[in-house]
Structure formats: structure tokens, C-alpha cells
Chain A
Amino acid sequence: MKRIFAVVLMIALLAGSAYGAALPKLRVGYVPEPAHGLYFVAKEKGFFKEEGVDVDLYQFGSAAEGMAALKAEKLDVGTFGTTAPLVFISKGSEFTFIGGMMIGGQAIITRPERLAELSGKDLKVYKGKKIGLVKLSTGDVIFKGALKKAGIDYKKDVNFVEFGSVAAVVEAVKKGAVDAGLVFPPHFSLAEKNHGLKVAHYIEDFYPDYTCCRIVAPTAQVKANPDTYRRFLAGLIRAYRFYKTNPDETVKIYTRALKIDEDIIRNETYVKRVAESNPDPLRKGILDFWQHIRDAGYITHDYPIDQHINTTLYKQALDSIVKREPKDKVYQQMLAFYKKNN
């Protein structure tokens, strides 16, 4: 009996390893950001392998380090904000945006006694104010874009103060050195919890569905292995459905992977919904983001960024899943969202 069991076990192990070995591998880099959790869901729930791709995840301490690894071909995929890939591409790096990971997520914090003064849905409340930010962060670029869209000349009417880190922005708000500060998750939750500061606005209040962290890959590899990347995106699309329909388990997966307080993750992800983990490439959002960087004068040279956005792979991945489950509401919503934003 024991012998039969051993033989069965060996066959199962061999079959398993052969299955794993047959799958194309992707090395995926990310930064530990709560809304980047779709990677962990797709990996833990087996969506990547079911779609036919073997994914190894690598955490990086900064966007610049991650982009350097991508450039050195130590990674096949990277999720390192929007600014960093745009800066690298504009300097000649051959990367292609193939999807997204996070939409929204930035907030404006202030001291409790200033909250009333900054309330309301009109960006004019920020005219004449001193606002702390980290230069070229998504919050910086998008908030300036929102002000411009609202017809406010932010170069004249708002006093922006640049800080070296988001911790320094929080500190400046706390000390009253600035009226408000632009921060990203989970810093506003931490600022509320640890320092009694308040969120005056989420930038989404003024600029719906703006792009945050995008998924990029080396252009040559995308061209050489489109099917692998399509399978990878299919895994993420299925992870998105799981995240939309299984909040409790998703929070546990995010918490385990990112080692951030479970309450903060639940609060940001499902209660306040400050950011959405969404794999849509958001082509229009990337182009807007680039324009906002240029408008702010951070990069004076123009470059046709659109050449570096591939929406086809995502659309094909989504179509293949919709074909399998045509009545699924989440996938239908993703399809509508894709049509609107690409």
C-alpha cells in the first residue's frame, strides 16, 4: 500500500513540476503599496498559473531602483508609479505601458482646525494656500492637473512647497509650516491615526479615475512574447474580480503580503475606497499625466509617449475572459471602463 502511495505521490510531483516548468516565467517588480495587491491575489489564488504564466514577485525599496532593475533586464515587468517610467521613456528607455495597478489614492491632509476652511467641492479653497508636496509624486502632478482643469493658475495662485519625502510633508502640516499637504497611501491614514491630522480631500473628488501606478515592460520582450504578457494580464483581470467580490479574503491577502495594519488596508480599500486596484492601462490617463508633467515645467522636452502604450494586450486578455464568462457583471464593467478610458 505504502509503495502504491509513494508511486502516486511521485507521479503527482513530477506532473506538478512539469506543469510549472512548462509555463513561461515573468519576474515582476513592485513597491509595497496597498493598492498593488492584485499581484498577491493573482499569485495566491493561482490565477497566473491557471492562465498559463509563472510569476515571481520582487519587492523594491524605491521606484528608481525598480526602474533600474527593469532597464538592466533583471525584471520582465515593473510597477513603479507613473512618473518614473515616463521619465525613463522620455530619456530613451524602451519600455511599454501594458496595464495598470492603481487608480486614484492621493489625499490632501490638514490640521483639524483648518478643515472647515478647506471643505467643499471647489478647488478655489486652495487659492492662496501653502501646500506641501513631494515633487513629481502622483499627487503633485495630478493635483496641478486638476487645478489647471478648474481654470486655476496654480503657478500664480497657489504656493507649493517641495519636500524631500512624504514624512517631511506630514511633519510640515503637523507643525503648521504649510496649510495642507499632498500625501499618498497609507500616509494619510497613518497621519490621521498617529498625529490627529485630517483628510481635507481625496484628489479623486476633483479628478475622477486619474492614473496612478502603471504596469510597464521592456518593449522588446512585449513584442517577442505577447502571449505571455496577455496571460499575465488575464491573471490580473481575474484577481480584480476577486478583489471586487471577496473583500475579507482580499484584505487578509494584502495584509499578509504587505505587512501593513489590517485596519488601514480595510479602511483604504473597502471603507473609504481611496484607491482602486485596477489593471486597466488607462491610456488617456497616461497621456494626461505626461501633459501635466510638461505643463508644470518639470520636463521641457516633448516626446510621443503614445508610442509606448499598448492597450491591445489588455483588451485581448479581457475579451478572452468575457468570452468564457459573458454574463459576469464585473467583467462587463471592466469592458465599459476600458472603452471609456482607452
Chain B
Amino acid sequence: MRRLFSYVVLAALALIALAVKPAPAHAEVVRLGCLDETGSALVLLADAAAIFREEGVEVKPVRFNSSASGLAALAAGKLDVGAFAVGETLKAIARGDRIRIIAGGGSESSGSLLDEVDASARQEREERGIVVMTAERPGAPDKETLGKLVSALIKADLLLQSQPVRAWSSIARQRPGRGSDFRFDPDPDYWRLASIWKRLDLQAPGMARSFLADHVYDEIYCDALHDLREGEGESNPVLKKLAEKAVCPPDCCPTGKKKRTDKGGSQ
């Protein structure tokens, strides 16, 4: 009987071991700062649903109470990546912080037509929306790691759009409250950022015309989206919608571009 019990225990342990997918041997630990709020859902979901891990990147989330404190930690080299409010982030860029925006996140939209017409309220909500950024300094995550992170955020968006109940149950605390409506978009969307930049009057005299564009790394998003479309199929409606919106210069010609081969599983 004891022997049988031992076998059952061993079998159970083996099953558990198989169920927990090990991270690839080369996984780097990325310190990711974020706010504990609904706008951060893509980042939090990618962590809770092990999508970062599935993409081959080990993420250590670090919670912050405010974007200002998170951006300060990013500037001090205590974080590799951050997910903070777009308004604060753009102001930090204008001040000279060496950061680059790599993805979008969630922003509140009232859902009420009347409120949407109220420009100042809409703008304020936009500025509170989340963007994901990386520090630009020696030892910061390389392009490949950033690609994996952004790929995970797109997959988190797919999960959120296609299986909202499952997705929100894994980050129940961040689920939007009654009456509040959130939009999620992993696209860094340079043109949206440029509008906010302009509205906040952040373009100082003497700044290069490309100052903001130099701090938006949308090539990472375009590559990740392109690779996912090839991997997940052209027909995925969420990816299709993201591709319709993205402004990505297309590849041409018989390119020798390297494709990722370690994409992990699909959603």
C-alpha cells in the first residue's frame, strides 16, 4: 500500500514538473516597474499568465505607487523596463531622460459620448494611459529581449480580447470597476504620442525635429507584430486589427532578415 502511495506521489510530482514549463536556459531577468492599476493590465497579464516566460524572457515585476517614482527608478538604473503614465513619460523624455517607448498599454475611456466630447477630460485620461519603455544605457535589455517583451504584450492583448473572462480572472484585482471602460493597445503609436507631446508643449526650441521619434522604438513593435502574424496566421482578427492600425514600413525584396525561431507556444 505504502509502495503504491509512493508511486502515486512520484507520478503526481512528475506531472507537476511537466506542467510547469521551464524557462529557457538563457532567460535574462528583466526588472519591470509598473503601477498596480487597470491600465497596466497587459504587463500584469503577461506576467500572471506566464506569457513573458513563454516568450523566453524572465520578468521580475516591481510595483510602484506613482509614475514619477517609477520613472526615477528607471533613470537611476534600478529598472530595465517600465510601464508608466504617458504624460509623465513624455515629460521625462523632454527633460532628457534616456528612455525609449517600446509599446502601448491601457487607457481609460469613459464610454460616454458626452464625456468623449469633453476635450480636457479626454486629454487627461489619455495622459494617464500607460506606455511601456526601456532605459537606454549600457547593460539595458537588447533588441531581441525587447522584441520578446513586446511580443508577450501583444499576446496578452490577444488573450484579453479573445478570452476576457479568463484573462481578467488571472489579474482580478486590476479588473475595471463598474462604469469604467478601458481600451488596450500594445502599439506605441508614434502619432498618438506626437499629439500628446504637442498638446503638452514639450518641443523646446533647439530640440531636433525628430526628438520625440528618437525616443519611440516602434521598429520593435512592428517586428514583433510581423513575426506573430506569420506565426499565428493571417486570419487572427485581433492581430489583423492591430496590423491595420500600425504604420510599419514594409519589407521588400527577397530579404535575408532573420526571423525568431524561439517563439514558444501560441495563445
Chain A positions near chain B (C-beta within 8 angstroms): 31-33, 59, 61-65, 67-68, 80-81, 83-84, 87-88, 91-94, 134-138, 162-166, 168, 172, 184, 186, 213, 260, 298-301
Contact = CB atoms under 8 A, between A and B. Distances in A.
B257 interface: yes
Interface of B: 190-191, 194, 208-214, 219, 222-223, 226, 229-230, 234, 240, 243-244, 247-258
A301 B212 CA distance: 15
A259 B243 CA distance: 32
A260 B234 CA distance: 28
A183 to B, nearest CB: 10
Q: Which applies to chain A's interface (DSSP): helix, strand, loop or mixed?
A: loop
Q: Which applies to chain B's interface (DSSP): helix, strand, loop or mixed?
A: loop
21 contacts: A31-B253, A32-B253, A61-B257, A81-B250, A83-B249, A91-B190, A92-B209, A92-B211, A92-B212, A92-B213, A93-B210, A135-B244, A136-B249, A137-B250, A163-B234, A164-B234, A165-B226, A166-B251, A184-B253, A298-B247, A299-B247
A91 B249 CA distance: 13
A134 to B, nearest CB: 5
Contacts, number: 99
A50 B249 CA distance: 35
A40 B240 CA distance: 39
Contacts of B250: 63, 81, 83, 134-137
Given A63-B249, A83-B249, A164 B229 contact: yes
A300 B191 contact: yes
B210 A91 contact: yes
Contacts of A162: 240, 243-244
A32 B234 contact: no
Given A87-B249, A135-B250, A64 B230 contact: no
Contacts of B223: 64
Given A164-B226, A172-B234, A81 B252 contact: yes
Contacts of A184: 252-253
B255 A32 contact: yes
A32 B115 CA distance: 51
Contacts of B210: 91-94
B234 to A, nearest CB: 6
A93 B234 contact: no
Contacts of B251: 61-64, 134, 165-166
A61 B256 contact: yes
B248 A136 contact: yes
Given A91-B213, A164-B229, 8 more contacts: A59-B256, A61-B256, A62-B251, A62-B252, A64-B249, A137-B250, A162-B244, A168-B234
Nearest to B209: A92
B26 to A, nearest CB: 23
Contacts of B247: 87, 136, 298-299
Nearest to B213: A91
